[in-house]
Amino acid sequence: MLHRYPRRVAIIMLALTLCVAVFPLWGPAVFGDQVDFIQEKLTLMVILALFTMSLDLLVGIVGLVSLGHALFFGVGAYTLALASPEYSAASLWWMLPLVIAVAAITAFVVGLLVIRTKGIFFIMSTLAFGQMFFYLISTSQFAGGTDGLFIMFRPSVTFGETTLLDLSNSQTFFYFCLGLLIVGYLFMRWLTRSYFGQVLDGIHDNEHRMQALGYATSGYKLVAFVIAGVLAAIAGMLAAMQYGFANPVQLGWHTSGEVLMMLILGGMGTIFGPILGAFAYEILLYVYEHLTVHWPILMGLTIIASVLVLPRGIAGLIIAPPWNRKKTPVAKEQAAESVIPPNSIQRNEG
């Protein structure tokens, strides 16, 4: 059934999570004095995983290919940067709701416009809106122009006088991000298996049919767009905390392209795939950067290759390993019987 996967998926994901979670135990032994650097990389991967997962809701689940998702990543980063007091730490208790609110409003307004478009128009208009914000930010005085803004203090998490989490500690911050990723994952898992998720699947397969059944598909798409935007903004906020700055590059279209790459690499529409994709992409990037200064060529070729030979990404490999592809003679027989080839069934939209 949909969004339910073989047991090995759960086992692999749990094992990997555990592995990452106990990094402070084995990291120093493997990486020596590079361990701090590697831990920062890991934190970044966790943040990007959350970002990629949010895009999966649009691309993989609803079938809306957004090439402007970095916009919301940037909204999160800049909201944090602009709302933080200059010489003291903001409180996460109001910073997080603020980021969520700003992102939700932005996503709602942008969504109202772009949801009206379909297919390639959607791709182009999301790209264009992303660039609109990019130019808005990079030419604005208040947002620091092309230099961006620095964030001197990470938000504090306190209860009364006691500090619950000290986010300026890199290890605490690492676990904080990991925790948010896990919460995000569970939320997405619940969402995709809910009725709402079923409706989104229906829209993905055949939007026109959903309308003919009486569904206000635009409304559902808009809600998905807002949820994806909010999740991306949370990831953007974390990224800004991690780097200590918000920069226009974070909301440029190359970032949008990169996160799409992570998605395809991991396997879209699977929720867990994007997490693998973000890690795989960052590891590849790290390796390529060490191999040559012309690493973008390798990255570009990797993406082209994965589009051509591995369209379902790493997740596809795990769900149905090539050495373990079940042959289903029954289904084949029935497909042969059918007058209309199975792949033409979906091609009925507008």
Minimum Å gap between C-beta 38 and other proteins is 26
Residue written as tokens 């942008």? 110
Q: Which residues of 225-252 are buried (b: 16+ CB within 10 A; e: fewer)?
A: bbbbbbbbbbbbbbbbbbbebbbbebbb
CB neighbour list of residue 129: distance below 8 Å, 6 or more residues apart: 68, 71, 110, 113, 114
Q: Which is nearer to other proteins, 22 or 186 (CB)?
A: 186
Q: Which H or E element spans position 224?
A: helix 217-243
Chain residues 10-39 in contact with other proteins, contact rule CB under 8 A: none
Minimum Å gap between C-beta 183 and other proteins is 19
Q: Is 106 in the site for other proteins (CB under 8 A)?
A: no
Q: Is 208 in the site for other proteins (CB under 8 A)?
A: yes
Minimum Å gap between C-beta 122 and other proteins is 9
One of 186, 296, 320, 321 touching other proteins (CB under 8 A): 296
Q: Residues binding other proteins: what is the number (CB under 8 A)?
A: 75
One of 119, 145, 244, 321 touching other proteins (CB under 8 A): 119
- Report the distance separating Cα 42 and Cα 51, nearest Å: 14
Q: Is 1 in the site for other proteins (CB under 8 A)?
A: yes
Identify which range of 7-15, 21-29, 229-237, 297-305 contacts other proteins by CB under 8 A.
297-305
**Helices and strands in the chain, H and E counts:** 14, 4
Q: Is 164 in the site for other proteins (CB under 8 A)?
A: no
Residue 73, helix vs strand vs coil: helix
Q: Which residues of 289-316 are buried (b: 16+ CB within 10 A; e: fewer)?
A: eeeeeebeebbeebbeebeeeeebbbbb
Q: Could you give the string, one character per residue 259-278, with x where binding to other proteins holds by CB under 8 A and - elsewhere?
A: -xx--x---x----------
CB 188 within 8 A of CB 271: yes
Identify which range of 90-98, 99-107, 165-173, 289-297 contacts other proteins by CB under 8 A.
289-297
CB 45 within 8 A of CB 278: yes
Minimum Å gap between C-beta 264 and other proteins is 5
Q: Which is nearer to other proteins, 79 or 126 (CB)?
A: 126
